Amino acid sequence: MQGQTAVGLSSVTKKFGEDVVAVDDVDLEIEDGEFFSLLGPSGCGKTTTLRMIAGLEFPTDGSVRIFGEEMGLRPPNKRPVNTVFQSYALFPHMNVEDNIGFGLRMQKVEKTEIRTRVGETIDLVRLTGLNTRRPGALSGGQQQRVALARALVNQPKVLLLDEPLGALDLKLRQTMQLELKDIQANVGITFVYVTHDQEEALTMSDRIAVMDEGKLAQVGGSEDIYESPSSLFVASFVGEMSFLPGEIAESGSVRLAGGEVVQARTGSLAPGTSVTLTLRPEKLHLYGDASEAPSGRNAIDGTVTRKTFFGGALSYEVDLGASGSFDVRVENIPSMKRWDVGDKVVVDFHTEAATALAE
Amino acid sequence: MTLTDERSSSHEETAVNPKLERKAHRRESWRGFLHAVPAYVYLIIFFVLPLIIVYVFSFASRSRTGRPELEGWNVDSWTRLTDELVRTIVTRSLWMAILNTVLCLIIGYQFAYWIATRRSQKVRSFLLILVLIPFWSNFLVRTYAWRMLLDSDGYITQIGELTGLWGRMLFTIPAVFIGLLYGYLPFMVLPLYAAIERIDWSLVEAARDLYASGVKAFLRVTLPLSKPGIIAGSILVFIPSLGAYVTPDILGGAKTTLLGNFIVTQFGAARNWPFGSALSGAILIVMLLATIVYFRTGGRTV
Amino acid sequence: MKGTTQATAVRPRTDRWLTLNGWFVFAFLYLPIFVVVVFSFSGAQNVGIWGGFSMRWYERMLGNDQLLNALRNSLWVALWSTIVSTIFGTAAALALDRYRKWVSRGAFDAILYLPVIIPDVTMAVMLLLWFTQVGVPLGRVSILIAHIAFNISFVAIVVRARLAHMDPAMEEAGADLYASRWQVFRRVTLPLIMPGVLGGGLLALTLSLDDVVITSFVQGPGATTLPVYVFGLIRRAVTPEINAVSTLMVTASMILVLTSLAIQNRGQKE
């Protein structure tokens, strides 16, 4: 947290063969003590980036530094980082204790010290009592903990996690998310976390790098990424989002395809630029007619065309005719007014809730 | 794994560039090549070069005493392949090998299917071990056993004579057939079992659910899914059947010469090494073609 | 496959037929061997006739110097060819499965598979011509060379199958946890492919002890193997002594199968 750079990538490119560019000219600084996530769809290069930090893959071009030290072609066993693999890669021929102690044995740490450190780490990840079990006899969640312990016990400067929760079911995944976050706060090690699950990334990370086709799409804090996506890709990948085509009418307002002009964040886009207006469903409000809508906000007429019940919330699809359609999400609270398919409604939203992004 | 050489890595703590990465790749390739070297060198000296020399010898001539001479190159040995005698032997060997493969497939499929559809895992394992034992047992001993059974005072002959159904079978074509079937059936059963056991039976149920009859479900689902086993098993049976030497020698006697025995004779009594080389070279080509064609057509039909 | 019992695919009538066929095949596979074993204990001079229990053919076998010499040769050849081909074959499997691009990898792959599909007779002819041409004296050593040549490929195939089922992340994890290349091989790769290596080795041992055709071509005076010696006996005359030798060979095979199964079982548990 003191702002020292734990992992630095400078113009890192990775090609497989001649044509496949997995990672394309990436610059990135990950700070010490940070919980940093690499987020993106499969094939976006996030795992390759992680593997280049681990030394399991070498960049075609560029520099990877760990605490200022150039890694070059240094093999993984000479790097001060450890990895939690997606498949866990637990050694099936060793029990839990031997799996966790493997790294220390390879570093020729003294036997008594290995025993204490392995014991401590087993307690830390709450595996006490399972010391002599083989990985095959453990549940998915327990295997995940062994994989974590096996990496943590070496006290790496950076811990790399490659979709570590991907194989677990939803409930267990949510528990483990919190637990991972706690462990990270406890040990204070920099975590670099690869995931394709945007919700997971938002929940756990201090900062997120969204990747798309080998390039960094946006780097920032969770709220930053969610509230101010810098591109349509980030806007559509992170969270729920509705899109309406239009063009900039003047600074601060957008003309939709159907002619309505709405107030929105337009940044420095010039009038006449064709844009996509992005709207978060939970930031929109529905009213019976325009008079009910609070003043100073946008108000557009539309028709409810679909209603979906989620339990804690309801989602309405609202059609604006020529301007397109979008979703509105309403919390299921006692004062909530319910609408039916076919109802005429007025959609209202704050200027800050609508962002115009160029193609 | 893409690791670099540990000794030299300390000198390369600089940012990577394409040239360095290529170097690392080359080093990695070199490492793979080094792993292959012992087997590679060995097989070149004691397999590839011998293979080439077979074809060299097939164009050589032989002296009056029968010694092969690496001069006076000619194609006589190859033209002799179209002789009446050779044609008879090749045809006989081919149809026996094909028929044996088909018989092994028919019997072996039902057998493997039976084992693979037993409910209990324990029963399946036990039955499989019962197949493995003859599979691993000495081939010569297993062939010898039939020599004993089929001889004039053997039990099979006695039963045949008592019922009047058959006489002494030793040194006849049926005897060779029994020997080949007995010798190579396990080679067919094991790959078939491996393929059938892996089938997801819910697919068969899905087919039945979609109005396929039992027979149709088998033909359209089970059979295509067991194709890898059928191909592997057929190759494992066909190749040694075509080149069989021990079985026809022990059970077939002089009247039923097959290709394998005919080749051996050229290196023994007949003392015609060039002709024997041409025969061996030809059988290898046929074998390779058969394997390739089988894989190709197997990819579409079956 | 869970939830769907395999037998649901078979109708009772079909199942009855398959069961009948199954036991018939087992009888076909086992009766001949059984007869040989039983008659090896027969005291009668004639092969197919029961002459009361006797161990005389075993005694006769143990007094046959030629046979014992052949047995010694067989064991020597089998042992050394197994050791060499297991090492070479395992290294070859690693080269093909763990290293993607290297010069002439495709050619090596093809060369490695050819000995498996080549008929024994062709292999025998090839090696005989080569040995006489290059001047390798025919004897125990030439037999060993030939056996290694066909065994390497079988070992490589078995080990490769095992490697293919192994998660490459295991080795990456080893390297990530500070193991050097050698330590990764010694502590991670080798233990994990061990069942395949041992299985390949046992297959090599069996093939070596089984071979008649190739050995009979490349053997030299006074240096033959047990199967070739027995083959010669059978061609001359069938005697009860052959039953005794056969029983010995079948017993050895059974021990090998059970060992190999035990190894595979252990491998699956891990």
Tens digit of each residue's pLDDT (9 = 90 or more) over B173-203: 889 999 999 999 999 998 999 888 888 888 8
Q: How many contacts (CB atoms, under 8 Å) link B and C?
A: 291
What SS3 state is found at C201? helix
Average pLDDT (B235-245) is 90
User: Residue A257 has what DSSP assignment?
Assistant: T
**Which residue ranges in chain A fall short of pLDDT 50?**
1
Cβ-contact A63, A70 below 8 angstroms: yes
Top residue of B6, B13, B16, B25 to mutate, by most chain A CBs within 10 Å, is B16
Helix (H) or strand (E) holding A73: none
CA-CA distance, C209 to C223, in Å (whole number)? 15
What pLDDT score was predicted for residue B4? 43
Name the band, by pLDDT with cuts 50, 70 and 90, for residue B66.
confident
DSSP characters for A129-142? T-TT--GGGS-HHH
- Structure token pair of residue C222: 């006074």
- CB pair distance less than 8 Å for C8 and B201: yes
Cβ-contact A158, A80 below 8 angstroms: yes
> Is the pLDDT score of C116 beyond 50?
yes
- The C-alpha of A13 sits at a distance from chain B's nearest C-alpha, in angstroms, of 9
Domain residue extents for chain A: 5-234, 240-358
Strand partners, C53: C42
- The C-alpha of B11 sits at a distance from chain A's nearest C-alpha, in angstroms, of 9
A240-358: which CATH architecture? Answer: Beta Barrel (2.40)
> Is the pLDDT score of C25 beyond 90?
yes
Top residue of C177, C187, C188, C266 to mutate, by most chain A CBs within 10 Å, is C177
> Is the pLDDT score of B76 beyond 60?
yes
Average pLDDT (C198-227) is 92
Angle of helix B227-242 relative to helix B84-116, nearest 10 degrees? Answer: 140
Cβ-contact C115, B34 below 8 angstroms: no
Give the Cβ contact number of residue C236 at 10 Å: 8
> Is the pLDDT score of B2 beyond 70?
no
Top residue of C98, C100, C178 to mutate, by most chain A CBs within 10 Å, is C178
> Is the pLDDT score of C138 beyond 80?
yes
- CB pair distance less than 8 Å for C192 and A93: yes
Q: Do the domains A5-234 and A240-358 sit in the same CATH topology, yes or no?
A: no
What pLDDT score was predicted for residue A359? 76
Q: Which residues contact B138 (CB under 8 A, 6 or more apart)?
A: C209, C210, C227, C246, C249, C250, C252, C253
What pLDDT score was predicted for residue B62? 84
Cβ-contact B236, B188 below 8 angstroms: yes
Cβ-contact C146, C218 below 8 angstroms: yes
> Is the pLDDT score of B218 beyond 50?
yes
Q: Which residues contact A242 (CB under 8 A, 6 or more apart)?
A: A278, A279, A280, A281, A325, A326, A327
CA-CA distance, A150 to A138, in Å (whole number)? 15
Q: What is the pLDDT of residues B111-162, one digit of tens each?
A: 999 998 888 888 888 898 888 888 888 889 999 999 888 887 777 777 777 7
Name the band, by pLDDT with cuts 50, 70 and 90, for residue B164.
confident
C128 vs C4, higher pLDDT: C128
> Is the pLDDT score of B295 beyond 80?
no
- CB pair distance less than 8 Å for C176 and A107: no
| Nearest in space to A98 (alpha carbons), one of B28, B12, C188 | C188
C199 interface with B at CB cutoff 8 Å = no
**Chain B environment of A64 (Cβ under 8 Å):** 16
> Is the pLDDT score of C214 beyond 80?
yes
DSSP characters for C133-187? HHTPPSSHHHHHHHHHHHHHHHHHHHHHHHHHTS-HHHHHHHHHTT--HHHHIII
pLDDT > 90 in chain C, percent: 61
Torsion sign, CA atoms C2, C3, C9, C15: positive
Closest partner CB to C170 (pick from A55, A89, A136):
A89
What pLDDT score was predicted for residue B5? 45
Tell me the one-letter amino acid at C229: Y
CA-CA distance, B201 to B207, in Å (whole number)? 10
Strand pairing category for A207-212 and A35-39: parallel
- Structure token pair of residue B86: 């050779």
Average pLDDT (C198-217) is 93
The residue of chain A nearest to residue C173, with distances taken between CA atoms, is A89
| Nearest in space to B127 (alpha carbons), one of B137, B115, B135 | B115
A87 interface with C at CB cutoff 8 Å = yes
Domain residue extents for chain C: 65-269
CA-CA distance, A104 to A108, in Å (whole number)? 6
pTM of the model: 0.87
Q: Which CATH class is domain C65-269?
A: mainly alpha
Domain A5-234 has CATH 3.40.50.300: yes
Question: Helices then strands (H, E): number in chain A?
Answer: 8, 20
> Is the pLDDT score of C4 beyond 80?
no
Helix (H) or strand (E) holding B41: helix B18-43
What SS3 state is found at A8? strand
| Nearest in space to B8 (alpha carbons), one of B33, B35, B27, B22 | B27
- The C-alpha of A135 sits at a distance from chain C's nearest C-alpha, in angstroms, of 9
Alpha helices in A26-159 (DSSP H): 46-54, 96-106, 111-124, 140-152
Strand partners, A308: A315
C22 interface with B at CB cutoff 8 Å = yes
Average pLDDT (C62-76) is 93
Mean residue pLDDT across chain B: 85
Q: Which residues contact A300 (CB under 8 A, 6 or more apart)?
A: A256, A260, A262, A320, A323, A346, A347, A348
What pLDDT score was predicted for residue B11? 44
